[in-house]
Amino acid sequence: MIVLTVMSGVLAGCGGPDAPHAGPVARPTASGKPATAVPSPSRAPESGPPVLAPGPGGLTPVFERRAAGAPGRDRTGHGDKVVALTFDADMTADQGRRAAGGEHFDNPGLIASLRRLEVPSTVFMTGRWAQEYPDQARSIGNDPLFEIANHSFSHHAFSAPCYGLPTVAEEDMRGEVERAFAAIRATGAHQVVPYFRFPGGCYDDAALRALAPTGVTAVQWDVVSGDAFATDADAVAAQVLEGVEPGSLVVMHCTRSAAPVTEEALRRIVPELRGRGYRFVKVSELMRG
C-alpha cells in the first residue's frame, strides 16, 4: 500500500490518453519531492521499512507497509491477505458538453459488476462527476459496499507539468477539495471518507501545504492497473494479478470512455485473487490495518 498523509509522497499519472497509469512514476527523493520519472513497476520499490505518519496533517509520508515479522501476518498488519481496489471517477469541470454529446464518464456496468461480485471498493470521485451523475453518486455513496473519496472538483492538476492537465492556482487548491466534498454530499451520499487522490498523481510542496488545512489524507497506490485508455482486458488483468501482494492498493477507473475494458478485466481479477486467498477491503479498512 502507498499512502501519504498530506505533507509528501509518491505518485503516478492519471492524465489524458497519452498518459495511462502504466506510464512513468515519479519516485520520491529524500526531500519528498518527485524525482525524474522512471519506468513504472507494478509494485512499490523494495526499500526498508517506512516511518509511519500519525494521520491527516502528519509531516512524514507513509509508503508501502512491510510485515513486522510476526508469523501469519501480512505487510499491512492484517492477519489475512487483503487488497483494496480503487476506482477514479474522472471528469473535468469543462467536460459537460462532451457528456451531453454522449461521452460516458460513468460506468454503471462496472458498479453493477462490483455489486454482483460483492467487492468492497473505494471510488475517488471528482465533484464534477457527482454533479453530472447525482443519482449514481448517491447510489454508490449509500451502498455499504462502497465509500466515496475526493478526487478534486475539476480534475485539474495540483502541480505542473502533469500530463497536459490544466493547473489549479495554489490559492484555489483548498477550495478544489472543499468544493468536491460539497458536490458529493449534495447528492445525498453519506459514506464519504476524508481521503484524497491528486489528479494525475501530481503534486509539489506548495500543494501539500495548501491542502493541509482540509484534514484529508492523500492516498495513492502500489499497483498500476494500466486500464486507462486500454483496449486489452486480459493485459489489464494480467498486470494487476502480477502486481498484487498482501496489502496492495490498486488504481483503476470507472469511466467508460477512458477505461472501456475495466469491467471485463475485473471479472477475471476478482475470482483469481479470491482463489489465491485474498479478501477485498475498502481503503478505510486497509488504513486501519
Please say whether the dihedral angle defined by the alpha carbons of residues 254, 258, 260 and 264, taken in this order, is positive or negative. Answer: negative
- Determine the pLDDT at residue 80: 77
Give the three-state DSSP class for 288: helix
CB atoms under 10 Å from CB of 169, counted, come to 10
Tell me the mean pLDDT in the region 114-126: 98
Q: What is the mean pLDDT of residues 136-149?
A: 98
**Domains, the chain, with CATH or none:** 79-288 (3.20.20.370)
DSSP labels, 132-155: HSHHHHHHHHTSTTEEEEE--SS-
Give per-residue pLDDT as tens, 200-229. Answer: 888 888 888 898 999 888 888 889 999 999
Spell 239-248 as b/e; 16+ CB within 10 A means b. Answer: bbbebbbbbb
- Smallest CA-to-CA distance from 255 within 14, 2, 94 is with 14
pLDDT, residue 32, reads 32
pLDDT at residue 74 greater than cutoff 70: no
Residue 65 pLDDT more than 50? no
pLDDT top residue among 103 and 203: 103
Strand partners, 83: 248, 280
The reported pLDDT for the residue numbered 220 is: 83
Backbone angles phi, psi at 26, to 5 degrees: -90, 115
Q: How many CA atoms lie within 13 A of 101 on its CB side?
A: 7
Q: How many CB atoms lie within 10 A of CB 235?
A: 15
In this predicted structure, the answer to whether residue 271 has a pLDDT above a threshold of 50 is yes
CA distances from 120 to 87, 132, 229, 231 (A): 11, 24, 24, 25
pLDDT at residue 129 in the model: 97
- Encode pLDDT of 157-196 as tens digits: 999 999 899 999 999 999 999 999 999 999 999 999 999 9
Neighbours of 189 (CB within 10 A): 24
Read off the C-alpha cell for 39.
519506468
Q: To the nearest whole percent, how much of the chain has pLDDT over 90?
A: 60
Cα–Cα separations (whole angstroms), residue 105 to 40, 97, 140, 208: 26, 12, 15, 28
What span, in angstroms and rounded, lies between the C-alpha atoms of 212 and 7? Answer: 7
Q: Which of 17, 153, 41 is nearest to 94 (CA)?
A: 153
Strands 11-12 and 25-26: antiparallel
